Structure 1
Amino acid sequence: MQFPAMLDRDESILAFNTRVLDWAAREEVPLLERMRYLSIVSSNLDEFFEVRMADLLDAAQNHIHEGDFTERQFLSVSTKAHELVAQQYDILRYSLYPALEANGITIVSHGARTPEQRRWVKNYFETQVRPLLLPVSLDPAHPFPQVANKSLNFIVKLAGRDALGRSNSIAILKVPRALPRLLRLPPHLSGGKDLLVSLPSVIRAHLEELFPNREVEQLSQFRITRHSDLAVDEEDVSNLRMALREGLQQRHYGKAVRVEVSSNCPDELADLLCRQFDLPQQSLYRVHGPVNLVRMGMLVDLVNKQEFLFPPFAPSYPQALRGVDSIFERLKEGDVLAHQPFESFEPVLDMLREAVNDPNVLAIKQTIYRTGSDSELMSLLREAVRRGKEVTAVVELKARFDEEANINWAEKLESVGAQVVYGVVGMKTHAKMLLITRREGKKLKRYGHLATGNYNPRTARLYTDLSYFTADDVLTGDMQRVFVHLASQSEIPRLSRMQMAPYTLQETMLQRIAQAGRAAAAGKGGRIVAKMNALTDEALILALLEAGQKGAQIDLIVRGACMLHAQVPGLSENIRVRSIIGRFLEHSRVFYFGIGEEEHLYLSSADWMNRNMLRRIELAWPVTDPELKTRIIDECLLAYEYDEALSWQMQADGSYARPQSPLEHPRNVQRALMTRYLNAGKDSSKKGRKKPGKT
């Protein structure tokens, strides 16, 4: 059986960011939110280059034509990246800047400043900026300085000679990270408008003052992006935490993979930068605006006018937990589900607070992946230790770009006596679980929380995720066995109900997919609906294609990268892929399998990626409670299948298109869920349901 070639993963990631960028171009989106989406895409692109580009660049520089990374791939991905960057700056220049100015929000250039504004800018430069600047003229005694990852810099060509009579013409000026990239002009200089100035324009206006008796002939801003994925051989280090700390010190100076310069940067200076950082021309990005659009996100906070932002939304407290005196007592009646951000993350903290304050709670175990640098949850764990409870924290030190925060939390927890472990050697612990053990009479009773997302109250207001509270003895027993495995690295745990990567999760998903395919082939009906962030695992993709060819009807809700080529006539016409991009980041993982009359529904911490299936500790657990199953299918699968406002549907050529709706107000799944949860008295789990049908 022949299947179509899979879509390129890197190009799929860039295509996802094109869909996000579309929100910056939509006039119906509030103005400051459009600027935020522009900044988000830039942040995503930074991470893409930091993590994904080094291997492709190596292949291009070594003219590799076969294997996982090739020169052709580098050229293709670079072309797509250049196109995306050009779209960003076109939206900024031709859409956002005019719209901002029409609403009294302007970034005032040096040439447009009044004499009074120029005096204010000059005073700011002299008192706040100049003392921190140290231009370096290049000569044998002053080689090209170290340039940190993603830092703002100027390259300058000077005429004349220096104080010693030398004609060294190139100088580098590093701009300190501590300086804000946007400044608000004071009200008496703004005329009732929101007027701002950019730091690069402040420096540019006074650049020649930094080079007395020299003339600035040419100049450009520039920014270097470096490979930043930490690689530590866990089996070859005695202390993983210390090894990662040392690695973090070098992250800012890894291999250069991209150089951004101003659009008018002279070729002479651009070529010099490419030679200095050993980069081909394809890695040079000329931009019509600031070289770092991520920092332009500051504009949202500086202006901060509600009429230019999404309407405020306050999540509701889960109906099943309202008015209860004890979450533990409520869980004895049955499991509880919370759907964030439509429902609050607060019950997770309340459960932990109750455990900390309850003298009958003996032990608390928790996994920590991304919890943030300022976390009440971590403070509660420390307080639990001080109150004499046994606290075990499985801290994932290698959570990308959160390594430093997690190292700091590990040290703080250890300092008060918590047991801190780092999981299984060679694997990231990505599972999300909290387990509380309580003495009740002569018995010990466990209470658990499982989640599709991180223990981070801030992102819980922005990401869609599912929280699952349980006192089920089988599920909490499985959780206990997983924690023992993570702490002791003992034999692979035998779990009763959960599936765990890298041991059984992929195999179980493959079995369910195959069962749906066989049921469809036998005329009994095979149905798969899966919601995830990314689909790149080849084994699962091939299994889906085979099940689809046997007649299984498959709907995949994949927010980001998807390598499965759907809707190809004769090959994958029974598979539909849609991506949902909206106000909230779609993050929940939900897997439904209809196999004849049987239904299986799983929640999971794992995407369908090779790394999640084979190189991480992940969990998936079945939902068996009929009411909760109804609610999850209704809210997380059926509702998403019928969305028209936020959806992008994969076409037969692998591209994505927005669906055409006959309605004046197309169906918007996130808005519908917000409306549902604004009605505090409505409990959607009481509603009847139907099986997910073909869209």
Structure 2
Amino acid sequence: MKNQITPKDVSSKYINRDLSWIQFNRRVMEEAQDPETPLLERIKFLSIVSSNLDEFMSVRVAGIRDQIKAGYTKKDFTGYTPAALLKKLMARTSLMIGEQYKTYRDLMRQLAKENIVFTSYNDLNHSQQKAMDEYYHDIIFPVLTPMAVDQSRPFPLVHTLGLYLSVVLCKNSDEACSEPYFAIVQVPSILPRWIQVPMRTNSKKLEFVMLEDVIKQHIHTLFSGYTPVAVDAFRLTRNADMTLNEEGAEDLLEEIEKELRKRRWGAPVRLEVQKGIHPWALETLQEEFELSEGVFEIDGPLDLTYFMKFSMSLSGKDHLRYPPITPRYPVEFKTEEDMFTVLQQRDVLVYHPFESFDAVNDFLYQSAHDPSVLAIKMTLYRVSGNSLLVQSLAHAAESGKQVTVVVELKARFDEERNIAWARKLEKAGCHVVYGLVGLKTHAKIMLVVRQEETGLRRYVHVGTGNYNDSTAKLYTDIGLFTSNQVIGEDASALFNEITGYSAPHQWQAFGVAPTDMREKLFELIRREKKYALEGKPARIIAKINSLSHQEMVDELYAASQAGVKIDLIVRGVCCLRPGVTGLSDNIRVISIVDRFLEHSRIFYFENGGKADVWLSSADWMSRNLTRRVELMCPVFDRQLQQSIIQILNMTLRDNVKARELLPNGVYLHVTTPEASFRSQFVAQRIEQWKV
């Protein structure tokens, strides 16, 4: 029997969002540590840990620092002041980094067993060193720029997340080195971070040296007349948040381009330095960046994000990767060449990456080339580098169709790419809209208006993920194709609200943030609470990426206390504390971190036996429910509802990659007496979930 935990046993009935995020990144690191995970996949997970931490530091920690700088001392709803939270985050992050590099060293040993070796320049034989010397002089040296720091040359701009070398020098004429000199050299990001060394005679080993190691060995070539005393790697993280004055911006696109340039000068947040860095170099860097805390000594290569490309670059090593999966084309569209004919008869559900994103590409392609199609409207939040969708939209506009594209320029870290797509679409004749002032447009929806014999008909696609064919191979997401009249009318009204002047719409089917989604969700939760109080079956299942909205947590607590059984599948941040007696006895929270990023947002409400099933773009966070244009769309087709419920039930059965959140905020692997059940692997067999 589990020990009962009451509200008195926990410091707060909420878990802090940022501390919960640390726990999430730790779960990602556990995948890098799992010996059951293929070796090159483990390396990818370690890379993801690093990129996650970069974003966390440049956004979340940067925001907390801004609060402290502004003198903000009020506690958040989890009981932390900014200063207390920052102190705890820095301590937890330091522990995580130690574990991260311990994992790195273990992975290096495992790679060596597979004859994949990272070595130092000094451990190469003579012919290998000669090859690296030639590579340095021919390829690396021409792109290096030594930047001295002295009275006449101020400290140069250090770009966020760039890798640099600090160089402490002595003049050759100064034997006592009474006055050291300081310079920095940027490790060029244009070159590969790792360099493959020619193989040794009669050896099967693939050997690699790091780019910065080769530069260090030849650093003297950049400073004639001086002797390098110490060469150490460092990396700076700056505040990456943008502060936009959208009201005063005549051209939002130009305003965002200005803010992107400003990001280069964002306030320093974190300084990573090589372990054993020269004390004077460290002092110089800390003084320049004004960082007394947030300095991390790294026992290994800085910036492990390079591992992602490295793991993908190795050929002939497929035995160290997951077996490839071939997404199936949705069978509903296979039987009929004309997708519109299929959708006139029934709705179609597509579950990525197990089913192919080609169905979305083909739908838009057919719409763009169909002479009966009059108008196409869609939202674009994050688009892949070579998007077929953008090409189809451009063709549709050039052929005279009315094409409206809502491009979210403020999609963090994708701003530059989205600006490029916006310009391309405008040039092709599309009406490009940048959303509503003060709100990010995060809804994922496409509307096609077609002239048919019976009149105009609307076809709609709504999704839980972005219109991005690259991430559709890596994320689990669900898309719904429908020609349902009510959904079509709501879709038209939604685009009119975004692109024009329209009073808030009385939605027939949709829930839309920021106007009414939050209240609609509260109503659905309260309805289950009512059924529970009446002694009727009451159940909620929600699959989301994050849960941090205080009122939402409180509504779920109230439903639990009324007897509603609640299962939450929350991949990342969760501020709700489950399993607390008298508060959340009936709530279970699990998180799944596996081969594919769990990204779909699905809401299920039992509704007295008449199930309500919704797909959504929104997580249950304050930003999603109050500061973004988000969408939740009902699934009316009973057969498709059962397929979605089957997906949820499969996820809840997972006892291989699922971790359960305990009342104390710790996650533990789910263990059950049943045979191993790995939901993502089972989902690859379409017949297991498709009804």
Whole-Å Cα distance in 2 between the matches of residues 318 and 190 of structure 1? 50
Q: Which among 653, 656, 661 is matched to residue 664 of structure 2? A: 653
Which runs of at least 4 in structure 1 moved beyond 6 Å after TM superposition?
none
Matched, 1:57 2:65: yes
Q: Which among 534, 541, 549 is matched to residue 522 of structure 1? A: 534
In structure 2, the residue matched to 1:550 is: 562
Asked if structure 2 preserves the Cα contact closer than 8 Å seen for 1:603 and 1:623, the reply is: yes
In structure 1, the residue matched to 2:159 is: 148
Whole-Å Cα distance in 2 between the matches of residues 593 and 559 of structure 1? 20
Whole-Å Cα distance in 1 between the matches of residues 587 and 15 of structure 2? 15
Q: Which among 466, 469, 472 is matched to residue 481 of structure 2? A: 469
Task: Give me the TM-score of the superposition, normalised by structure 2.
Answer: 0.95
In structure 2, the residue matched to 1:435 is: 447
Whole-Å Cα distance in 1 between the matches of residues 44 and 614 of structure 2? 33
Amino acid at match of 2:115: G
Asked if structure 2 preserves the Cα contact closer than 8 Å seen for 1:430 and 1:616, the reply is: yes
Whole-Å Cα distance in 1 between the matches of residues 145 and 369 of structure 2? 54
Asked if structure 1 preserves the Cα contact closer than 8 Å seen for 2:7 and 2:13, the reply is: no
CA deviation after TM superposition for structure 1 residue 423, in Å: 1.5
What's the secondary structure of 2:606's corresponding residue? Answer: strand
In structure 1, the residue matched to 2:582 is: 570
Q: 1:516 to 1:67 in 2, by over 3 A?
A: same
* Superimposed CA distance per residue, residues 177-197 of structure 1 (whole angstroms, 9 cap, x where no aligned partner): 212111112356783322111
Whole-Å Cα distance in 1 between the matches of residues 604 and 335 of structure 2? 32
Matches within 5 A, 1:348-387: 348-387=360-399
Q: Which among 95, 102, 106 is matched to residue 113 of structure 2? A: 102
* Superimposed CA distance per residue, residues 196-231 of structure 1 (whole angstroms, 9 cap, x where no aligned partner): 111011111112232223222223100001111122
Moved more, 108-117 or 190-199: 190-199
In structure 2, the residue matched to 1:135 is: 146
Whole-Å Cα distance in 1 between the matches of residues 526 and 60 of structure 2? 32
What's the secondary structure of 1:513's corresponding residue? Answer: helix
What's the secondary structure of 1:404's corresponding residue? Answer: helix
Matched, 1:11 2:22: no
Q: 1:529 to 1:142 in 2, by over 3 A?
A: same
Whole-Å Cα distance in 2 between the matches of residues 332 and 582 of structure 1? 37
CA deviation after TM superposition for structure 1 residue 421, in Å: 0.7
Matched, 1:610 2:618: no
Q: 1:352 to 1:23 in 2, by over 3 A?
A: same
Q: Which among 23, 30, 38 is matched to residue 46 of structure 2? A: 38
Matched, 1:177 2:177: no
What's the secondary structure of 1:249's corresponding residue? Answer: helix
Whole-Å Cα distance in 2 between the matches of residues 105 and 402 of structure 1? 34
Amino acid at match of 1:341: P
Whole-Å Cα distance in 2 between the matches of residues 455 and 243 of structure 1? 25
In structure 1, the residue matched to 2:3 is: none
Matched, 1:667 2:657: no
Asked if structure 2 preserves the Cα contact closer than 8 Å seen for 1:385 and 1:391, the reply is: yes
Whole-Å Cα distance in 1 between the matches of residues 431 and 608 of structure 2? 47
In structure 2, the residue matched to 1:690 is: none
Matched, 1:325 2:308: no
In structure 2, the residue matched to 1:691 is: none
Whole-Å Cα distance in 2 between the matches of residues 354 and 61 of structure 1? 54
CA deviation after TM superposition for structure 1 residue 162, in Å: 7.8
Amino acid at match of 2:124: R
Q: 1:168 to 1:340 in 2, by over 3 A?
A: same
Matched, 1:495 2:507: yes
Q: 1:116 to 1:317 in 2, by over 3 A?
A: same
In structure 1, the residue matched to 2:302 is: 291
Whole-Å Cα distance in 2 between the matches of residues 77 and 570 of structure 1? 30
CA deviation after TM superposition for structure 1 residue 425, in Å: 1.1
* Superimposed CA distance per residue, residues 285-343 of structure 1 (whole angstroms, 9 cap, x where no aligned partner): 11111111012323212323211111010011112211212110101111110011111
In structure 2, the residue matched to 1:27 is: 35
What's the secondary structure of 1:235's corresponding residue? Answer: coil
Asked if structure 2 preserves the Cα contact closer than 8 Å seen for 1:162 and 1:168, the reply is: no
* Superimposed CA distance per residue, residues 485-532 of structure 1 (whole angstroms, 9 cap, x where no aligned partner): 111032112221111111111001011111212221221122111000
Q: Which among 516, 540, 555 is matched to residue 504 of structure 1? A: 516
In structure 1, list runs of 5 or more residues that go unmatched. 687-695
Asked if structure 2 preserves the Cα contact closer than 8 Å seen for 1:17 and 1:44, the reply is: yes
CA deviation after TM superposition for structure 1 residue 364, in Å: 0.7
Q: 1:27 to 1:684 in 2, by over 3 A?
A: closer
Whole-Å Cα distance in 2 between the matches of residues 42 and 239 of structure 1? 35
What's the secondary structure of 1:592's corresponding residue? Answer: strand
Asked if structure 2 preserves the Cα contact closer than 8 Å seen for 1:184 and 1:302, the reply is: no
Amino acid at match of 1:387: S
Count of matched residue positions in the alignment of Structure 1 and Structure 2: 676
Whole-Å Cα distance in 2 between the matches of residues 414 and 559 of structure 1? 37
CA deviation after TM superposition for structure 1 residue 569, in Å: 2.5
Whole-Å Cα distance in 2 between the matches of residues 57 and 203 of structure 1? 35
CA deviation after TM superposition for structure 1 residue 161, in Å: 5.7
Matches within 5 A, 1:148-167: 148-160=159-171, 167=179
CA deviation after TM superposition for structure 1 residue 460, in Å: 0.4
Asked if structure 2 preserves the Cα contact closer than 8 Å seen for 1:65 and 1:71, the reply is: yes
Matched, 1:76 2:88: yes
Whole-Å Cα distance in 1 between the matches of residues 7 and 301 of structure 2? 48
* Superimposed CA distance per residue, residues 382-403 of structure 1 (whole angstroms, 9 cap, x where no aligned partner): 0111111111101111111111
Moved more, 261-270 or 422-431: 261-270
Amino acid at match of 2:123: A
* Superimposed CA distance per residue, residues 98-145 of structure 1 (whole angstroms, 9 cap, x where no aligned partner): 000010000121121111110011111111111111212221111111
Matches within 5 A, 1:448-467: 448-467=460-479
Whole-Å Cα distance in 1 between the matches of residues 66 and 290 of structure 2? 11
* Superimposed CA distance per residue, residues 416-454 of structure 1 (whole angstroms, 9 cap, x where no aligned partner): 211111111110111111111111136111111110100
Whole-Å Cα distance in 2 between the matches of residues 561 and 25 of structure 1? 21
Asked if structure 1 preserves the Cα contact closer than 8 Å seen for 2:7 and 2:581, the reply is: no
What's the secondary structure of 1:399's corresponding residue? Answer: coil
Matches within 5 A, 1:168-207: 168-187=180-199, 191-207=203-219
Whole-Å Cα distance in 1 between the matches of residues 690 and 318 of structure 2? 34
Q: 1:179 to 1:684 in 2, by over 3 A?
A: closer
Q: 1:653 to 1:442 in 2, by over 3 A?
A: closer
Whole-Å Cα distance in 2 between the matches of residues 525 and 559 of structure 1? 27
CA deviation after TM superposition for structure 1 residue 38, in Å: 0.3
Amino acid at match of 2:566: I
In structure 2, the residue matched to 1:252 is: 264
CA deviation after TM superposition for structure 1 residue 647, in Å: 0.3
Moved more, 202-211 or 238-247: 202-211
Amino acid at match of 2:409: L
Q: Which among 513, 517, 539 is matched to residue 551 of structure 2? A: 539
Whole-Å Cα distance in 1 between the matches of residues 173 and 224 of structure 2? 9
Task: Give me the TM-score of the superposition, normalised by structure 1.
Answer: 0.94
Matched, 1:343 2:380: no
Matches within 5 A, 1:204-353: 204-281=216-293, 283-304=294-315, 305-353=317-365
Asked if structure 2 preserves the Cα contact closer than 8 Å seen for 1:137 and 1:168, the reply is: no
CA deviation after TM superposition for structure 1 residue 59, in Å: 4.6
In structure 2, the residue matched to 1:422 is: 434
